[in-house]
Amino acid sequence: GDTVSWSTKWQEVVLLSTTESEYIATMHTAKKTLRLCSLIREVIGPLDEPTKLFLDNQSAITLAHNHQYHSLIQNIDI
For residue 77, pLDDT beyond 60: no
Residue 54 scores a pLDDT above 80: yes
Q: Is the pTM of the predicted complex or chain greater than 0.75?
A: no
Using a pLDDT cut of 90, give the percent of the chain over it: 8
- Mean pLDDT estimate for the chain: 78
Whether residue 45 is predicted with pLDDT greater than 80 in this model: the reply is yes
Report domain extents, the chain: 18-74
Contacts of 76 (CB under 8 A, 6+ apart): 13, 15, 20, 23, 24
